[in-house]
Amino acid sequence: MSKSKGDRYERRLVNLLDAAGFVVMRSPSSGSATEREQPDVYAARDGERYAFEVKYLGQGEDYTYLDGEEIEALEEFARVADAIPLVVGRWWRKPTFRLYFGRELPETDGGNYRLDRDVPPIEVLSDGGGGPDADDLRRREVIP
């Protein structure tokens, strides 16, 4: 997958959250540009706070792995920011963002986590074309 496609979907998530009334910050190159623990996207609205690690899976990719340290960094940022840490999967040609709690993804023997198309998400947000959108995060009460 090209980095530009991952960036594009981070920006699309930012726009989706912004349209739902969240204040949103994106940390480009969060995994490589800094030693600080920060998510790809941070969003807040009326006492709700979310830290998102976004993964784009390209054509023919059904899964990817997240390093255990990546999940720990996301959770540490969320703890300090009093936010809910979520992993977001976006698959090629699918108009949805699938949300997961990182520690609920299948763990590998090496302490990493597998983001897999077959793992049911805790929430699905539509990126156009109908279906649940970012406004539904709180109302659905799927996310505590």
Establish whether 30 is a catalytic residue: yes
Angstrom distance (rounded) from CA 74 to CA 87? 9
Distance of CA 37 to the CA centre of its chain: 15
- Do the beta carbons of residue 118 and residue 97 sit within 8 Å? no
Strands 48-57 and 84-91, bridge-based pairing: parallel
Q: Give me the DSSP letters along 70-97.
A: HHHHHHHHHHHHT-EEEEEEEETT--EE
**Pick the catalytic residue: 2, 4, 27, 30?**
30
Distance of CA 47 to the CA centre of its chain: 19
Angstrom distance (rounded) from CA 101 to CA 49? 14
123: phi then psi, degrees, rounded to nearest 5? -160, 150
Catalytic residues: 30
